[in-house]
Amino acid sequence: MAARLDDGSELTENHEINVTPFIDVMLVLLIIFMVAAPLATVDVPVDLPGSTASAAPRPDKPLFVTVGGDLSISVGEEKVERDALAGRLDAATGGDKDERIFLRADRTVAYGDLAEAMNLLRAAGYLKVALVGIEQAAAPAPAGG
């Protein structure tokens, strides 16, 4: 409760809200989100193909396995050798073979190379694999009759 001194004889209540603390809190939150947002993205550059499928819900911390245009494999943002992939996945998931793995591949990666990456995941014991693509609008159906 705030008080205002008018003539010194009587204290009256001031019914105005001081918004300065609210603005200060909002600016601090804005700065925190501006710093944290770039840290939440994956920085392995790939040119993903488009998909017209509806987007499925994604977990809070998805585990991405990326096949780059040069056929290198990355877990998260760290490049790994093909023979060390199983050990790196076990370390990232804590040995939980039921965790869903999100597989991303560059548009230039051949189908056979992508299938080989999926075989590596299967050999490591990870059977829940989700393919990642860029959402696109559905193409119109061809006119026929």
> Tens digit of pLDDT for each residue in 81-137?
988 888 998 888 888 888 888 998 888 888 888 889 999 999 989 888 888 877 666
Closest CA to 128 of 60, 80, 59, 68: 59
Name which residue leads in pLDDT, 10 or 27: 27
At residue 72, what are phi and psi to the nearest 5 degrees? Answer: -80, 150
pLDDT digits (tens, 9 = 90+) for 76-90: 888 999 888 889 988
Q: Which CATH class is domain 69-132?
A: alpha beta
59: tokens are 């977990």
Are the C-beta atoms of 109 and 67 separated by less than 8 Å? Answer: yes
Question: What's the confidence (pLDDT) of residue 2?
Answer: 58
- Work out the pLDDT band at 145, boundaries 50, 70, 90: very low
Distance of CA 58 to the CA centre of its chain: 8
Question: What's the confidence (pLDDT) of residue 140?
Answer: 56
pTM of whole model > 0.75?
A: no
Please report, for the chain, the start and end positions of each structural domain, with discontinuous segments joined by +: 69-132
Quote the CA–CA distance of 67 and 63 in Å, as a whole number.
13
pLDDT digits (tens, 9 = 90+) for 12-69: 787 888 888 899 999 999 999 888 887 766 666 777 667 676 766 777 788 889 898 8
Residues in the chain: 145
Quote the CA–CA distance of 49 and 37 in Å, as a whole number.
24
Quote the CA–CA distance of 58 and 40 in Å, as a whole number.
14
